[in-house]
Structure 1
Amino acid sequence: MKWDFKSLLGGIVIGSVLFSGIAAAASNYPDPETKQTPFTYYFEGVPKSPASDVQGIMYKNTVYVPIRFVAENLNKPVIYDARSRSIYIGKLPTSKMYSKMEAIELVKAKFAGNLSPSHVVEYSHDDEKGHYVIHVYQTYVNNFQSGDSYTSTYGWFVVNPNTGDIRSLLQ
């Protein structure tokens, strides 16, 4: 098979059309590295600047600030626990506190025999008492062509962060 100029040009045009959508979609996602802004932070009226590699970023009219820089300038230690995905500023809790990730794992363990791999167990919000509200559900697709789907809720559960006790929200 012989390749000629028309085949090459046709391939370039088709490739350009196919990959132009990817480039357009990529521009919709923020790139924090390009949106870093050199903010001036003031602590007790004294201006401070973090290292140039940890500047804050502005995204959708919200300034995201490096928490370690802020806490240390307030003379508070910062500890990050990767296992529970918890950030401690200042004193550590004096008693065991369950993190949101640990609460999700507690709910998964309690209902392990009833949940399928397609069930989603996720943190939703804190209730008025400071307990974690966990939503357990499945998503079913009605029509794969249109993408129509619905959510079937297995349950809403409240986890006490002090004790790890789980109760149904609907009781």
Structure 2
Amino acid sequence: MKEKFKGFILGCILMSMLMGTVAYAATTSTSIEVFFRDLKYKIDGLDKVPSAGKGFIYEGTTYVPLRFIGESLGKSVEWDGKTGTIWVGKKEGKHTELTSLKFARYDVEGSARMWTDAEEDGTLSVAGVNFQKGISGRVYNVTGPERKASIDYNLNGKYTKLTAIVGMDDASQNANATGTIRIIGDGKELKVISSLRGGDNPSNIEVDVANVLKLQIVFEADTNENNKVETLWIDFLEPKLFE
């Protein structure tokens, strides 16, 4: 039997499901009408029952307690009130997004191109997974300067670790050619990720950047072996610097 509940605050409901307490922000709340109902949950085929909070339906969409779902899947769920962030699973330490820094310079030749973040169609996509933050280099599998593009950042020795997700953008998912990303610190090659191919799942990387003053990320197309010129978009996604 449905239990009609009028005038609830959506923000309050979601917060109470996560924290077990009610929070109210008058400047951002909206009154809505929802329907609570007895929902059944099966996680990997097993029946699960929330210890607190109930699911509800709003405008045809079902909302369920985030903490219950996360912990049922073996993931911890934590609310960071200072930053307004919900952490599900591993919580990262303090970090700076690389693309939030002003780059020192970038080098491209001819029709090669570089961009930071999703500037054109709103997304960077690898194997069907969309990302909003990252650096993408457009290069060509030809002999010549258009095979490479690079971007530099002055880190000034402030960071110890760089993490990122790398892959071939779906804009080049059918290309036969493969690509490479090189991470260079103060002229020294720190990491090479090669044989990036369209349609492959993205990979997570971690790079030691302790004491690095200048960081350079190089996007490179592999040489042309079939005399067919192909455009490669190579993505360096969600890059984060840790102190």
TM-score range, shorter chain: 0.3 to 0.5
Structure having the higher Rg: 1
Normalised by the size of structure 2, how large is the TM-score? 0.29
* Larger helix share, 1 or 2: 1
* Larger strand share, 1 or 2: 2
Q: Which has the higher contact order (CA 8 A, sep 6+)?
A: 2
